[in-house]
Amino acid sequence: MLQPYKIALRINESRRFQETLFVNYMDYNDGLTLNEYAEKERKVLAMGFYGVEDFHIKVNEYLKFLDEIILS
């Protein structure tokens, strides 16, 4: 099950979004393809329920990164 706070914390601490996506995918994919997982993760993060405003800027950048993955 996706844990929005844990994902947002990883994003905030990450240097490379590709690595963060891969780690999140390995932990939470539940048999989904990478694109399907990216869409699911994007929906969860877009809700904004991860709890800490300090993550907002970096999570928004990550959402843009996910959009590129989803559209490719």
pLDDT (tens digit, 9 = 90+) per residue, 10-69?
Answer: 999 999 999 999 999 999 999 999 999 999 999 988 887 766 567 888 999 999 999 999
Q: What is the pTM of this model?
A: 0.87
Range of the domain at 46: 4-71
User: Of 6, 71, 70, 59, nearest to 34 (Cα)?
Assistant: 70
Residues 22 and 34: their CA atoms lie apart, in Å, by 9
Domain count, the chain: 1
